[in-house]
Amino acid sequence: MQVSVIKSAAKVVAIALVTVLAGMAATGIGKTGAAFAQEETQATDPTRGAVTNLPLPRYVSLKTNEGNARRGPSLTHRIDWVFSRAGMPLRITAEYENWRRIEDAEGVGGWVHYSLLSGTRTALVTADLLDLRATPLPDGTVLLRAEAGVIARLLECRPVWCRLSIDGEKGWALKAALWGIDPDESFE
């Protein structure tokens, strides 16, 4: 039986834009909204979002092919990063009105408008080569191999294994080889 290898689409394209730190410090741009959101979250329950009351941190995915990550929670804040890969898993770490502070697998991020995010759970393959198996067992038949950087849709997660869908193929993979789900998290 020949096993296909799914290659990563282009590496996550995140474009760092030049920021003028002296101007930012002088005007206070990028600090007020973020500092306020942090204070508001801490004033209530730091494990729950101040706006949605959903758990923090939590994972979502990028809904569109382009999402601007800003220095603070408004359109007046500078764009620090542009995420350009629909389906990319992101972790929400704070909320402020219609804005969510997010980060990717590398810890890069900023504030994005909630309309750019989806509740669809995805994961990023972090292992050099991930075997997608027919059963959640170490000796299960390998159906597919995926390279690091491939994005998979999470269908179900157990304590050690997650059921994934990659390019229409479904199978089981070790949770430890994925970014986009916490080690102690399970769902059906």
pLDDT digits (tens, 9 = 90+) for 16-59: 332 333 333 333 444 455 554 454 444 568 899 999 999 999 99
How far apart (Å, rounded) are the C-alpha atoms in residues 140 and 49?
40
How far apart (Å, rounded) are the C-alpha atoms in residues 6 and 48?
37
Rounded to 5°, the CA angle 126-130-89 comes to 40
Q: Which domains does the chain have, with CATH numbers?
A: 21-120 (2.30.30.40), 123-179 (2.30.30.40)
**% of the chain residues with pLDDT over 70:** 77
What is the pTM (predicted TM-score) of this model? 0.78
Cα–Cα distances in angstroms (integers) from residue 142 to residues 3, 65, 135, 157, in the given order = 7, 31, 9, 18
Q: In the structure, what pLDDT confidence band is assigned to residue 101 with cuts at 50, 70 and 90?
A: very high
| Token representation of residue 61 | 């995915």
Which range among 15-29, 69-83, 112-126, 165-179 shows the weakest confidence by mean pLDDT?
15-29
